[in-house]
Copies of this chain bind each other. A is one copy, B any other.
């Protein structure tokens, strides 16, 4: 079962609702001896935290993460790590009017149809607030990666928001944390700001595309054929709220390519095989090649908008919905640290899984 859990050996179970007392992640399988503390995890939560800029919801949440178990004197012990985040600014009254109404594009109606009961406050379990728990778990995964795979880097950034997109020639990782959009290009920021201001003024919202790259992962990660690295990344990213598509390397564009264009040719470099290109996104047959691992995903526009949309109530009567709560005009922005967290968890998980299955000893050498 993996209903609220993902991962093979590094297993993350998230729990909690948007407006309950708390939410969190129960992480089982973190290796022992990993140095970590709440302050380290908090740096990642702060990136995802609401209210950070004028482009994200003004809900005020400290999103302070507490480590309740599994860490002793600053190190993981190999036992489950409980990461809890208390909800503080719940303002349930904002949501009272949706108790009987299904918001279009939201999970209100399907949770009702499935379970016959739902915590309607802020979307309950279906709220993107759940991703705070993922980010906390991702921070723990990064701490473990720092320990097991020094030099490995994971970086996410926006590549598109509605009609604006990045220039791939200008990607500079150093810029990503210096602007409100996690944009890898300082020059693009003003255009993106203007574009999103227009969207907001029009009481509308907009979709986004995010790319997450893992640099420095060794060759050999991924467990064919149903625990392939790309399979697990697809699952991880598609599980994020509002995601509608996932791509590895060329992604959907591969349908348009010819074989002569697509195959990355192989050369022998000083430190092992090298490739002429990376159409594959760093994964062949579900196993990492040692190149950058590249995944992209698309986030739909926030369904909660100020423009009225037709819907029905629980009794079947017709109504119109205008969402007056505090919402992001582009939820894709805050999906960037979430995508990074999922990548960190998946990569760590496969490092551990590979070690278990194959070991640390000599494997297939080339040359």
Contact with B along A114-126 (1 / 0, CB 8 A): 1111110000111
Instruction: Evaluate whether A289 and B33 lie within 8 angstroms (CB atoms) in the complex, with A28-B1, A69-B15, A266-B102 already known.
Output: no
Do A332 and B255 touch (CB < 8 A)?
A: yes
Do A110 and B284 touch (CB < 8 A)?
A: yes
Q: How near does chain B come to A124, taking the closest CB pair, in angstroms?
A: 7
Q: How near does chain B come to A88, taking the closest CB pair, in angstroms?
A: 14
Do A77 and B117 touch (CB < 8 A)?
A: yes
3 interchain residue pairs of minimum CB distance: A107-B285, A356-B356, A316-B367
> Is A230 in contact with chain B by the CB < 8 A criterion?
yes
Protomer copies: 4
Instruction: Evaluate whether A299 and B255 lie within 8 angstroms (CB atoms) in the complex, with A22-B69, A239-B226, A266-B310 already known.
Output: yes
Would you list which residues of chain A between 293 and 326 have a CB under 8 Å from chain B?
Answer: 296, 298-305, 307, 309-312, 314-318
> Is A256 in contact with chain B by the CB < 8 A criterion?
yes
- Nearest B residue to A265 via CB reads B310
Do A20 and B107 touch (CB < 8 A)?
A: no
> Is A245 in contact with chain B by the CB < 8 A criterion?
yes
Instruction: Evaluate whether A302 and B259 lie within 8 angstroms (CB atoms) in the complex, with A80-B13, A359-B355 already known.
Output: yes
Q: Which of B8, B78, B255 contacts A298 (CB 8 A)?
A: B255
Contact with B along A163-183 (1 / 0, CB 8 A): 100000000000000000000
Chain B residues with Cβ below 8 Å from A13 are 13, 26, 28, 80
Report the Cα distance A354→B32, complex, angstroms: 11
Would you list which residues of chain A between 92 and 146 have a CB under 8 Å from chain B?
Answer: 102, 104-107, 109-119, 124-126, 130
Chain B residues with Cβ below 8 Å from A266 are 102, 104, 109, 310-312
Contact with B along A7-26 (1 / 0, CB 8 A): 01101011111001111101
> Is A75 in contact with chain B by the CB < 8 A criterion?
yes
Contact with B along A218-231 (1 / 0, CB 8 A): 01111111111011
Q: Quick check: which of A40-48, A49-57, A201-209 contacts chain B, the rest being far away? A: A201-209
Report the Cα distance A106→B284, complex, angstroms: 6
- Nearest B residue to A249 via CB reads B244
Instruction: Evaluate whether A258 and B79 lie within 8 angstroms (CB atoms) in the complex, with A113-B287, A224-B126 already known.
Output: no
- Nearest B residue to A32 via CB reads B115
Q: Quick check: which of A149-157, A186-194, A273-281 contacts chain B, the rest being far away? A: A273-281
Chain B residues with Cβ below 8 Å from A289 are 109-110, 113
Do A116 and B246 touch (CB < 8 A)?
A: no
Report the Cα distance A309→B265, complex, angstroms: 6
Instruction: Evaluate whether A245 and B246 lie within 8 angstroms (CB atoms) in the complex, with A4-B28, A284-B105 already known.
Output: yes
Do A104 and B207 touch (CB < 8 A)?
A: no
- Nearest B residue to A81 via CB reads B15
> Is A262 in contact with chain B by the CB < 8 A criterion?
yes
> Is A232 in contact with chain B by the CB < 8 A criterion?
yes
Report the Cα distance A334→B328, complex, angstroms: 42
Known: A1-B9, A5-B11, A9-B356. 11 other contacts (CB 8 A): A5-B5, A15-B79, A17-B70, A33-B117, A77-B117, A78-B117, A102-B273, A109-B289, A111-B285, A125-B225, A126-B224
The interface centre, meaning the residue of A81, A273, A288 with most chain B CB atoms within 10 A of its CB, is A273
Q: How near does chain B come to A171, taking the closest CB pair, in angstroms?
A: 17
Instruction: Evaluate whether A116 and B162 lie within 8 angstroms (CB atoms) in the complex, with A238-B228, A352-B357 already known.
Output: no
